[in-house]
């Protein structure tokens, strides 16, 4: 039962991580421009939206890594 919960957490974290990485703006802007991140390419990465998106992405990445480690230890 615990393994199934860890697998579900890992699947949700991986899908969220894919979505959040796609939300980041690249060189020419990204999907985050639709949600208020369109200040321009000179200030890319310094807006409040981008900083919050970075924080959320890092948090989800830590959850993904932790669930991956728990799953590896659980399967052994």
pLDDT tens, position by position, 21-45: 999 877 655 565 666 655 555 555 5
For 4-17, what is each residue's pLDDT tens digit? 999 999 999 999 99
pLDDT of residue 34: 64
pLDDT of residue 25: 76
What is the Cα–Cα distance from 70 to 21, expressed in whole angstroms? 23
pLDDT of residue 40: 54
Is residue 20 over pLDDT 90?
Answer: yes
- Residue of 41, 7, 47 lying closest to 27 (CA atoms): 41
Q: What is the pTM of this model?
A: 0.73
31 inside domain: no
Q: Total domain count for the chain?
A: 1
Domain range for 75 is 1-23+45-76
12 inside domain: yes
Q: Tokens 């321009």 correspond to what residue?
A: 40
52 inside domain: yes
34 inside domain: no
Rg of the Cα atoms in the chain: 16
Q: How far is CA 65 from CA 1, 20, 37, 68, in A?
A: 20, 15, 28, 5
């Amino acid at each position: 039962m615990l393994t199934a919960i860890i697998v579900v957490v890992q699947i949700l974290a991986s899908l969220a991580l894919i979505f959040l990485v796609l939300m980041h703006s690249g060189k020419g802007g990204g999907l985050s421009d639709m949600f208020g991140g369109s200040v321009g390419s000179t200030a890319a990465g310094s807006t409040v939206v981008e900083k919050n998106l970075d924080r959320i992405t890092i948090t989800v990445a830590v959850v993904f890594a932790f669930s991956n480690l728990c799953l590896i230890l659980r399967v052994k």
